Chain A
Amino acid sequence: MIPTAIFLLVLFVITLTVAAYSTYGERKVAAFMQDRIGPNRAGPFGLLQPLADGAKMFMKEDFVPASANRTLYFLGPAVAMTTALITGVVIPWGDTLQIGDVSIPLQGMDPEIGILFVFAMVGIGVYGIMLGGWASNNKYSLLGAIRAASQMVSYELAMGLSIVALVMMTSTLSLSGIVDYQVEHGWNIIRQPLGFLIFLICAFAETNRSPFDMPECETELVGGFHTEFSSMKLGFYLFSEYVNMFISSAVMATLYFGAYDVPGLANSGWDPNLITIIGVAAMFAKTFFFIFLFMWVRWTLPRFRFDQLMNLGWKGLIPLAIINILLTGGIMLALGQLAT
C-alpha cells in the first residue's frame, strides 16, 4: 500500500514537471523550427521559464465575469486538471521494482478495463472545457465549448474503433496485459499500422492540439473556451492541455510501442531491477518522442476548418477504423487465431 502511495506521489510530481517543461519545450521547438532561439533569459538556457510563467499566472488578477455561473466557472478548470492527472494512474510506466522484500509495481493501478478507464477519463475531460465555456456566458467561449464537445464525440468514436482491432488481437483490455502481449509477440505497431495512424490522429484531436485546436481557435474565437479565464484558472486549462499531451503520448507508447519493453533486454540476464530502470527510461523516451511529435506537427500544419475536421472524422477515420477491424478479424480468422 505504502509503496504504491509513494509511487503515485512520484508519478504526480513527474507528471507536473514534465507538463511544465513541455511548455518550455514547446516554445523552444517552435523557436527552433522558426529559426529563432526561444526563451533564454530566465536561468541558463531559459530553464526557469516554466517557473516564471507559473509565478506570473499566480500573480495575475483572478477575474470572474459578472454574468458567469460562478460554481461551474470554478469547476471547469478543476475538472480539466483533475481528469488530466488521473489518467496517468493506469499507465504501466515500468515493470516491477524489487527493493529487499518489497516489490513496487510501477503502475498505480491495473484494472481489468484499463484502456476503458483511459477513455472514460478523457471523456470526462471534455466536461472541463464544456463547463468552462458554458459558465463564462460568452458567445466565443460557448462556441469553443460546442466545438470541443462535437470534436470529442466524433474523434472518440474513431479512437475507440481503432482500439477495438487492437483489443481483438491482444484479447485483453488491461494495459499491462497489452504490454505483456507486446513483450511476447513484438510491438503492436507492426501488426496495427493503420490502427496506430487512426489513433494518432484522434489523439491530436482529443488533446485539442493543432491542427485540430478548434476549441481555442484564436483567429475565430478570441481564446475559445478559455476567453473569459484569467490567472491560475487559465493556467490550469493551459496546463491540463500539456498534461493531456503527456498522458496520451504515454498511452500511445503503451498501446503501440510496447511501453517499457526494450526488445532483447528481458533475455540479457542482467539484474531485474536494472532491466526495470532501463525499461522506465525507454518508456519515457518513447513518451517524449510523441510529445515532440505533437509539437512538431503543431508548428508544421495549419489549423483545419471545422467542416473539414468533421469530414475527416466521420467520413474518413471512422470508416477506416471499421475497415481496420474487418481486416484484423479476417487475417486472424485466416491464421486461425480467433479465440473461441
Chain B
Amino acid sequence: MSTTNNMSAPGSFVPLTSRGKQVSQKQMSLMERIYIPAILTGLFITIKHFFRLKRPTIQYPEQQRPFSKIYRGMHVLKRDEQGRERCTSCGLCAVACPAEAITMTSGERKKGEVNLYREEKYAVTYEINMLRCIFCGDCEDACPKEAIFLTDRIVESDYLRKPFVFTKEELVEPMDPKKRIDVTKRQTPAVLKFKENKVFAHNR
C-alpha cells in the first residue's frame, strides 16, 4: 500500500499545479469598506484618460491605415502597352482558385478587334465573386499572361449580394494610359526573376 503514503492528511493543502494561488478571504479594512478611497483612485484614472490627447482612432474614409506594399485587394485585369487585354481566357486562374470564385467564357477574336485583344482567344465574360474570393493571390500566380493581379484597392461594401460579382466592367483596367492600375509593387524582384526562367512553359 505504498500509494496511501503519498496521500496527504485530510484538510491539508496539496497544490495540483505550480500556478495555483491560495485564495484569501480576509475581511476588508475600514478604509476599504467605505469605498471612497478606491472610488477616488478610479476617478483619477478615468480623468487621466480624459485629458490624454493621443487617441488611436483612424478616421476611416478620410484616413487610412498604411497598406502593405504587396497588399492583396481587388483584382485587376491588365492591358498591355498598346491597350490590348492580356487575358486569353485559358482558365488557369479559375482552376487555381481555391474558393472557386472565378468563372469565364471565352471567345475568338474577330477581324478588326486586333487592337482590343492581344491574342486570338479572349475572355468574353470574366467574373469574380468577391464574396467567395479569399484574396490568396493564387490566380495571379497561375496566370501565364500576367493578365490578372491583386491590387491595393479595397472591394467596397454593399447592401446586396449581386454587386459583389465583379464583371469585366469593374475588373479590366481603363484604356487611358494615365488611369492604368499600377501593379509593379506586386512584381517583386523575386517574381520578376522567376518570370525570366523560360524553363517553365507559362514564362515563355
- Report which A residues bind B (CB closer than 8 A): 29, 32-37, 296-297, 299-301
Contacts and interface: CB of A to CB of B under 8 A. Distances in A.
Q: Which of A36, A297, A300 has its CB near the most chain B CB atoms (within 10 A)?
A: A300
A128 B49 CA distance: 36
Contact of A33 (B39, B46, B56, B57): B46
Given A36-B57, A37-B55, A301 B49 contact: no
The contact size tier of chain B is 10 to 19
B50 A32 contact: yes
Interface in B157-197: none
A35 to B, nearest CB: 5
A297 B49 contact: no
A300 B50 CA distance: 11
The list of the 10 closest CB pairs from A to B, nearest first, reads A300-B46, A300-B42, A33-B46, A32-B50, A37-B57, A33-B49, A33-B50, A300-B43, A35-B55, A37-B55
Nearest to B42: A300
A80 B50 CA distance: 32
Contacts of B52: 35
Given A36-B55, A37-B55, A300-B46, 11 more contacts: A29-B50, A32-B51, A33-B46, A33-B47, A33-B50, A35-B55, A35-B56, A37-B57, A296-B43, A297-B39, A300-B45
A301 B44 CA distance: 12
A28 to B, nearest CB: 10
A37 B51 CA distance: 12
Contacts of A301: 39, 42
Majority SS at the chain A contact face: loop
A296 B49 contact: no
B58 to A, nearest CB: 10
A174 B50 CA distance: 38
Nearest to A34: B49
Contacts of A300: 39, 42-43, 45-46
Contacts of B51: 32
Interface string B19-55: 0000000000000000000010011011101111001
Contacts of A34: 49
Contacts of A33: 46-47, 49-50
Contacts of B43: 296-297, 300
A300 B47 CA distance: 9
A34 B46 CA distance: 8
Nearest to A41: B59
B60 to A, nearest CB: 11
17 contacts: A32-B49, A32-B51, A33-B49, A33-B50, A35-B49, A36-B55, A37-B55, A37-B57, A37-B59, A296-B43, A296-B50, A297-B43, A300-B39, A300-B42, A300-B45, A300-B46, A301-B42
A35 B46 CA distance: 10
Nearest to B41: A300
B144 to A, nearest CB: 48
Contacts of B45: 300
Contacts of B57: 36-37
B38 to A, nearest CB: 9
B36 to A, nearest CB: 8
A208 B147 CA distance: 64
Nearest to A197: B36
A134 to B, nearest CB: 33
Nearest to B48: A33
A292 to B, nearest CB: 10
Q: Which of B39, B45, B46, B51 has its CB near the most chain A CB atoms (within 10 A)?
A: B46
A300 to B, nearest CB: 4
A36 B49 CA distance: 10
B69 to A, nearest CB: 29
B52 to A, nearest CB: 6
Contacts of A35: 49, 52, 55-56
Interface string B59-71: 1000000000000
